[in-house]
Structures are given as structure tokens and as C-alpha cells.
Chains A and B, each alone.
Chain A
Amino acid sequence: MSFSSMNIGRTGVGFAHHWLDTIAHNIANANTVAPGGEEPFRALQLVARPLGGGPFASTGSGVHVAQQVRDGGDPARTYDPDHPLADEQGTVTQPVVDLGSQMVDMMIAQRAYQANLRTVESAKEAYQAALRLGGSQ
């Protein structure tokens, strides 16, 4: 008996953990203003890819982060000439972070983390059950 289910669950927990870290980084920078002329902070998004056999394969062995993508939306510019980081026109470049979608993603990531932990727990129960094979009832 291999421990493949447990290892697959571990990759899922790892991915969800990484996702939660990324969301925390995005939310923490939701008020990070870029100095005039500099590129604003853009929210990071993770792209998941299957490990092993790929989609619809019996040899699939979990998930991993294939790449990190920056949000490509246009940054909001607000007029605030008193701001220390305002440019010559008195505008401030706001970060590209959609707090609403970050909060929704955080809930999904949290649920994904819990579901993958449940997978690890199920695998543990299966291995413990296998140890009862041949034993007295």
C-alpha cells in the first residue's frame, strides 16, 4: 500500500497555503501607493497545474503552482496634491488590488485547505483500517 492519497492531499494543502499567503500579501498592499512615475503594486494570482499524469489521468499526483501572474488592470489615479507621493499633476497612483475578489478568494482558499486536510485525514483512516485486516472483530 502506497501513501499516494496522503501525498496528493499534502500537495493540495501546500497549494492552498501558498494561495492564502499570496492573498495576505495582496491585502496587505491594498493601500500601497506607488511613487509618481513608478509601476503600481499589482495583486498576484496563482495558476494551478496538475502534477503527474495531468487532467483525467489515473496517475495524477496532486497540484502545484505553475506560475504567478500580476493583475493586468488599469490602476486608479486619484487627485491628491498634498500626498507626498503625488506626481507633478497632483495625482496618486493607487494599487491594482480588488479587495472584494481577494476576500472571496480567501474564503475559497480556506475551504480548499480544509478539504485537502480532510483528504489527508481520510487517507490516515484508510491506512489505520488496513491495519485491522485479518484481526479479530
Chain B
Amino acid sequence: MWDVTTSAALRALDGLAMRGTLRANNIANSETPNFRASTNNFETSLRDALRRRDPAGAAAPDVVATPSIVDARGNSVDMETELIGSMKDGLHRDAMITSFNYKVGQLRVAMGGRR
């Protein structure tokens, strides 16, 4: 029932939810010695899957180190990166939900339903 757009939006929402968990963990450990901040690269696996026109077949995103400077305590959490990234993720998430809901609205119209 879902086309490429809706499947891609749902996969992106999964990736953003996982990234949100990683960000929360980074922020919670901003004062932990030797803690290395991490994020995920769901866009890469989703882009590859979209090239094959099979977003549902996107591989599970890898957890990778956030490219930031490690401080004297061995901690690489950059609070600005995390908080601004969190805002961007929020906008990205809202865009995905809007896209998904638009498709659902089209389905409703196609089925002759009313809003």
C-alpha cells in the first residue's frame, strides 16, 4: 500500500528517533571522562536504498563517532553541535510527518473518504 515516499518517510523517522536517543545519551554524558559522542548515518543507507527504489530494504544505520574535538578529559561531546542538531532533527521530523500525512490524505481522497 505504501509507495516509495511514505516508506522513505517512515524509515527516516526511525533513523531520526535513533539519532535522538544517541543525542540524549551524548548530552547526558557531557561531563563523563573518556566518553566519545556518537551519531548515526541513516541518510547513507536510506539514500542507497532509494537508489534501488526500495526504502524498506535500507540497512540498519551504523553508529559512528561524532566528528568533534576530544577535550583534556577524553570527552568529545560538543553541546552546541548536539543542541543545534536536535533542532534540525526536529524540523526534519516535522517535514517527514507532513510528507507522510500528505500521502495519507491523498489515499483518503482516492478512497472517497472525507477528512
A interface residues, Cβ below 8 angstroms from B: 1, 4-6, 8-9, 11-12, 15, 19, 47-50, 55-58, 60-63, 108, 111-112, 115-116, 118-119, 122-123, 125-126, 129-130, 132-137
Shortest Cβ distance from B37 into chain A, in angstroms? 8
- Could you tell me if A115 and B83 are in contact, using CB atoms closer than 8 angstroms? yes
Interface residues of B in 88-113 (CB under 8 A from A): 90, 93-94, 97-98, 100-102, 104-105
Q: Enumerate chain A residues within 8 angstroms of B34, measured Cβ to Cβ.
A: 55
Which residue from chain A places its CB closest to the CB of B9 in the assembled complex? A133
Decide if the interface of chain B is mainly helix, strand, loop or mixed.
helix
Please tell me which one of the listed residues A58, A63, A134 contacts residue B38 in the complex, with CB atoms under 8 A apart.
A58
Q: Is B17 within 8 A of A126, CB to CB?
A: yes
Q: Which of A19, A118, A130, A134 contacts B83 (CB 8 A)?
A: A118
B30 at the interface (CB under 8 A from A): yes
Complex alpha-carbon distance, A129 and B92, angstroms: 12
Instruction: Please name all residues of chain A whose beta carbon is closer than 8 Å to the beta carbon of B27 when the two chains form the complex.
Output: 9, 12, 115-116, 118-119
Report the separation of the CA atoms of residues A11 and B28 in the bound assembly, to the nearest whole angstrom.
7
Indicate if the CB atoms of B29 and A63 lie closer than 8 Å.
yes
CA distance A19 to B82 in the complex (A): 21
Which chain A positions have C-beta within 8 A of B24? 4-6, 8-9, 12, 62, 119, 122-123
Total interface residues on B, CB under 8 Å, equals 39
- Distance in angstroms from A94 CB to nearest chain B CB is 28
Name, among B17, B21, B34, B65, the residue most crowded by chain A CB atoms within 10 Å (CB to CB).
Answer: B21
Task: Establish whether residues B101 and A56, one from each chain, have CB atoms under 8 Å apart when the complex forms.
Answer: no
Within 8 Å of chain A (Cβ to Cβ): is B11?
A: no
What are the 7 closest A-B residue pairs judged by CB atoms, nearest first?
A: A12-B28, A8-B24, A60-B25, A48-B32, A58-B63, A5-B24, A63-B28
In this complex, the member of B31, B34, B97 whose beta carbon has the largest number of chain A beta carbons within 10 angstroms is: B31
Expressed in whole angstroms, the Cα–Cα distance for A132 and B98 within the complex equals: 9
Contact A134 B104 (CB under 8 A): yes
Known contacts A112-B30, A132-B97; is A5 also within 8 Å of B21 by CB? yes
Q: Is B52 an interface residue (CB 8 A)?
A: no
Q: How far is the CA of A19 from the CA of B31 in the complex (A)?
A: 11
CA–CA, A115 to B40, complex, Å?
21
**Selected contact of B97 from candidates A1, A116, A129, CB within 8 Å:** A129
Contact status A112-B31, CB under 8 Å: yes
